[in-house]
A and B are shown apart, each in its own frame.
Chain A
């Protein structure tokens, strides 16, 4: 991602400026900045609330509202463009309590899930979690699936979760949907997805040293010969 100054320089050629408020103070920033780059444009150096800057890490989940509209909205600061009269602040990611467990000693069942997260059943379906998800996932639906013990359904519906923590921040029952879904996915992946036979076979072949001689040959041959082998290798089409 380009840094704020660079974006700003380019944007200033068009110079449409918008007013935003950072922790109550008004700033004018060029249109087209994200919440994150707008903070930097205004001179704030980020330590927390900033990670991959590309919508994968979940470090910058944030809330905002508007000067004349107090309703909270949710977004990733690295993706959301600033708008006129936006009120901003950057809440650092805060960790949630998380039980320790040993996946190897578990069973992929709803009962198992409830043993680790007994509070799961206290969900009363307010749907705040869904409303707060910057990935627009159906959080309450996968929480319902978790209560039913349907690990596959949780996996499908929660797979794109960045674990930004906004759902947990808004849950009136103190549930942590992102950690609950993570355990469901891990149990599903470890126990319910069928094993790959060809993967197991290949590992056994490597352990038996089946490719050692051929690799050693490649390592000993001249560069010219190696280049020839490379260019002549068949390219499989699918």
Chain B
């Protein structure tokens, strides 16, 4: 599926300006001047896309409609039908979610003496972690410092991040890199062993550590192997659908469901680490997403129901450069490393319109403006909009072979559709990428509810209202390790009381009082519903009952 002729015409213009653009650098927008473009073009500022929550700890706060519906959803279980004396797993630490944060938490919890159970909705390691390409930030170069990393992170977040969480993030970072290396992760290096960092957007010093553009794959397959080598118990295809508490108000376990048989399992745990990741598969505002199949905000729902406040859930991250063509890979992440290595973002005429290393919220807004207000985007045969990400410029700067060496995943993925990114640019547009906010928590991983810890994309505050590239994978390992350690410690000290699901009863009462039980879906969502339903022939009243889950067809 090479580019159609009319798109090739625009590519000729991109090639025509390339020589001149080699020396052209557009200034970055100063931090004080970002708001106008954000307010006009960033999806977070579309007023109708969010609404106020009517129940729960964040009552009155605004959040995207798709998330609000699930946070205010009905429980999947009837507490009266669950026998809490029938425990299937009795452990010190239950880790929910087996991506980067969950795996890190499991390893460290076990190292600290805990008997660990790791549970996950899909397979061990099927998570957003495996798809991260660009890398992991750590200020380890002699001309860098954790102080600069702190400053970059705060500025990228428009100064809305939690200072203590950012401090933990930047100070743990170099040790995270070394820890992963000691497990066998192969970072990109110079021949003498020093790290070969790349500058991502919003960084003042090259700080991002990569494993080509398969960074997440490399890290996740090593962590997964280590989890298996250490014989940590794990259960796959078994998402948690409700937390269990005790009569002292502590989180004390979870109810799991077997995705294929619907059998429930009960876990009693002295500590629970929530590491369920993000939200992309909710397709906020209809955006395509870079996220994996299971990214449906389950952890936010469960934590909210036991009383955990959430922070910054009024912001989502739209990655500026996701594939807009061909449609088979619509929304595919095109790593920021492409821009870090020198690719510029240009319009239909081959002209730059923004500095490619603006923070993600700013660049995404500039791309949307270029397409929607200025009419300088390219429209694909299937009516998607996009701008060019000029990858061939990379080899012109750094020498031939740089793209092939540093971006093999990108080369392969576009190559599958007969697009050679070493010679032709990629068409890109912002896509739903990351949940900036999440469960409110403290630097040691603890949430507001005793016994519940959080790590990774499901928690919030680390990145405020806009995250920098390379900081989310760092977040996984920094707070995954911290949560694992804290959970093991907590498990040694806590005395669990009698198990209860009264919080679910209480939740349903609140929903009923607010008049929501009939109009809200069942949550957590678990998986997106992509199967086309060939039910058009059904009577409307049947369709309604079908959607309410009251009947099944076939």
Contacts and interface: CB of A to CB of B under 8 A. Distances in A.
Interface of A: 1-5, 7-8, 10-11, 13-14, 32-34, 37, 40-48, 50-57, 59, 79, 81, 93, 98, 100-103, 135-136, 155, 159-163, 179, 182-183, 185-190, 193-203, 206, 211, 214-215, 218-219, 223, 226-227, 229-231, 233-236, 238
Contacts, number: 251
B204 A196 contact: no
Nearest to B535: A43
Which of A52, A102, A159, A211 has its CB near the most chain B CB atoms (within 10 A)?
A52
Contacts of B216: 56
A163 B131 contact: no
21 contacts: A32-B326, A32-B327, A33-B328, A40-B530, A43-B532, A48-B237, A52-B130, A52-B293, A81-B1, A189-B184, A189-B185, A193-B187, A196-B189, A199-B178, A200-B178, A201-B142, A214-B147, A230-B155, A233-B204, A236-B204, A238-B206
Contact of B130 (A3, A57, A103): A57
Contact of A193 (B193, B289, B293): B193
A10 B408 CA distance: 30
B505 interface: no
B147 A215 contact: yes
Interface bracket on B: 35 or more
Interface string B197-235: 001000011100001101011100110011011110000
B217 A56 contact: yes
Contact of B212 (A33, A47, A159): A159
A52 B292 contact: yes
Contacts of B159: 223, 226-227
Contacts of A1: 288-289, 329-332
A181 B330 CA distance: 32
A67 to B, nearest CB: 22
Given A47-B527, A186-B225, A238-B206, A203 B183 contact: no
A51 B123 contact: yes
A93 B178 CA distance: 32
Nearest to A76: B416
Given A160-B214, A194-B192, A98 B228 contact: yes
B204 A235 contact: yes
Contacts of B194: 196-199
A104 B323 CA distance: 41
Nearest to B139: A202
A93 B182 contact: no
A225 B34 CA distance: 17
B151 A198 contact: no
Interface of B: 1, 28, 30-32, 122-123, 125-126, 128, 130-131, 138-143, 145-148, 150-152, 154-155, 159, 163-164, 167, 170-171, 174-175, 177-178, 181-187, 189, 191-195, 199, 204-206, 211-212, 214, 216-218, 221-222, 225-226, 228-231, 237, 259-260, 283, 288-290, 292-293, 326-333, 381-383, 408-409, 412-413, 416, 527-534
B460 to A, nearest CB: 19
A211 B32 contact: no
A26 B155 CA distance: 56
B530 A5 contact: yes
A85 to B, nearest CB: 19
A136 B177 CA distance: 30
Nearest to A200: B178
Contact of A101 (B170, B229, B237, B412): B229
Given A41-B532, A231-B31, 15 more contacts: A1-B330, A1-B332, A2-B331, A54-B413, A103-B229, A159-B211, A160-B408, A186-B184, A189-B184, A190-B184, A194-B191, A199-B174, A203-B174, A206-B171, A236-B205
A211 B330 CA distance: 43
Contacts of B260: 47
A230 B293 contact: no
Contact of B131 (A7, A54, A235): A54
Contacts of A98: 225, 228
Contacts of B154: 218, 226, 230
A43 B533 contact: yes
B205 to A, nearest CB: 5
A195 to B, nearest CB: 5
A185 B184 CA distance: 7
A189 B186 CA distance: 5
B530 A215 contact: no
A52 B178 contact: no
Contacts of A32: 326-328
A64 B113 CA distance: 47
Given A11-B382, A199-B140, A234 B184 contact: no
B416 A215 contact: no
A46 B230 CA distance: 31
